[in-house]
Structure 1
């Protein structure tokens, strides 16, 4: 059942986190996307999974700003438990037509899935400790505060009119998807949909690092949650937040018909 979408406040911030588990490489990134009555801007920082570096990185990005929502790219339940099973959300987003079109979602009970789940929980705990995070008011809430799970690859892939040309090539799929959706204006239109009348103070095309892009897409995911205008897939083992139904491409509309709308 769909909720009525909200008009966001004149100014505010949301947070997106691309979760990594490397203790040496800065493969994690956080993005605080903020707006006022005239503009939208973002601040991104990369960090490692070393506990102090992760804490320092998140603190620097949050910068003591209140957050309307936070979205993390990794398996997440509200109790921050290790999931260790193949979730309903992962099954739905790995069905044959989606898998062939935009790729498969990793399982929470795979080796990398367990590592990502643990790292996501660590990041979530820090956000809950460090941030002034708004209460959850959206459907499919997993916690009393507005913290959710994002998945940039599916989020971006579902908005492509034709995913086929972007299946192969240099870089990851999500990077190719991001570049295509920036080039055709879809990602800018999505931000304007949530925050009408604002001008982007920065260029989406100028965000070229893989982890930076993923963090920014997670922040845009959080923006949809704050506005209560999104699509959700999942159950008690976690909900993955995807674009508003109107932004899902025609080829995927019948697949998304049974998914929950925020």
Structure 2
């Protein structure tokens, strides 16, 4: 179980200097409630540093999820990874959006800026030591992927519609109560102090999903796919939709307490 009080962090990685394409979420809880603090910002290095420091607020974070390719040594990946291949198999890709390749131009940029965010968190020293089974770094930094995380929990994920999938998935999982049920699953006995439906900014939604993913990492209750080039963390198997259950059953990468 998670401690009675605590915090985790989620970051939606962006780099545009013009638009505020990065999002950050610190999710907090105590014995009664669950709340979160959100921000979105552009890729200016000073603005990025200030936003990350403000979100961390000197707190001890149990885990931090970053929406981008991440190896523990912060090396340049520049290859089509096992995790990306698995999540791009037809049975999944026909239902939900798959990650792009870390070898593509966008993938290289995403990898670079994910590493920059990770370096900031390492420098701040606010993320606690990793204890989950698929740790890639001594601090509990990990790779999240909100679109697949959400899509795997949605029974009627839309086929063939690629635009704004993560926003549609988020809205659907808020409406049917699954996202709130997942929060309460990780943090039983608490009530949400904020309304999930009130989160409307795309990047803040993605950051919130990364923070919810971080709860699973901190609790060691999640699915993982990947290898030495990075593990993508996904929902607990109990929350995976029926259509995806046979698929994830073949991954054989369940943590000890996460089946």
Where 2:94 maps in the other structure, the secondary structure is: helix
Q: What TM-score do you get using the length of structure 1 for normalisation?
A: 0.95
Given the alignment of the two structures, is residue 160 of structure 1 paired with residue 142 of structure 2, yes or no?
A: no
> How big is each residue's C-alpha offset from its partner over 1:77-121, in whole Å with a ceiling of 9 and x where there is no partner?
000011000000000000011011112211000011011000000
Q: Distance in 2 between matches of 1:70 and 1:164?
A: 29
Given the alignment of the two structures, is residue 101 of structure 1 paired with residue 95 of structure 2, yes or no?
A: yes
Indicate conservation of the 8 Å contact 2:65/2:211, yes or no: yes
Partner of 1:68: 62
Given the alignment of the two structures, is residue 194 of structure 1 paired with residue 172 of structure 2, yes or no?
A: no
Deviation at residue 157 of structure 1 after TM alignment: 0.2
Indicate conservation of the 8 Å contact 1:67/1:131, yes or no: no
Indicate conservation of the 8 Å contact 2:56/2:126, yes or no: no
Deviation at residue 217 of structure 1 after TM alignment: 0.1
Aligned length in residues: 254
> How big is each residue's C-alpha offset from its partner over 1:203-227, in whole Å with a ceiling of 9 and x where there is no partner?
0000011001000000000110000
Deviation at residue 152 of structure 1 after TM alignment: 0.2
Given the alignment of the two structures, is residue 14 of structure 1 paired with residue 8 of structure 2, yes or no?
A: yes
Given the alignment of the two structures, is residue 204 of structure 1 paired with residue 209 of structure 2, yes or no?
A: no
> How big is each residue's C-alpha offset from its partner over 1:44-98, in whole Å with a ceiling of 9 and x where there is no partner?
1111111111000001111111100000000000000110000000000000110
Between 100-109 and 176-185, the greater mean CA deviation after superposition: 100-109
Where 2:10 maps in the other structure, the secondary structure is: strand
1:111-190 aligned at under 5 Å gives the runs: 111-164=105-158, 167-168=160-161, 172-190=164-182
Partner of 1:229: 221
Partner of 1:4: none
Indicate conservation of the 8 Å contact 2:9/2:25, yes or no: yes
Deviation at residue 164 of structure 1 after TM alignment: 2.7
Indicate conservation of the 8 Å contact 1:89/1:238, yes or no: yes
Partner of 2:20: 26
Indicate conservation of the 8 Å contact 1:65/1:131, yes or no: no
- Structure 1 unaligned segments of length 5 or more: list them: 1-6
- Structure 2 unaligned segments of length 5 or more: list them: none
Q: What TM-score do you get using the length of structure 2 for normalisation?
A: 0.96
Given the alignment of the two structures, is residue 91 of structure 1 paired with residue 81 of structure 2, yes or no?
A: no
Partner of 2:71: 77
CA RMSD of aligned residues (A): 1.1
Question: 4+ runs of 1 displaced by more than 4 Å?
Answer: none
Between 205-214 and 43-52, the greater mean CA deviation after superposition: 43-52
Where 1:53 maps in the other structure, the secondary structure is: helix
Indicate conservation of the 8 Å contact 1:28/1:211, yes or no: yes
Indicate conservation of the 8 Å contact 1:13/1:33, yes or no: yes
Q: Distance in 2 between matches of 1:15 and 1:109?
A: 27
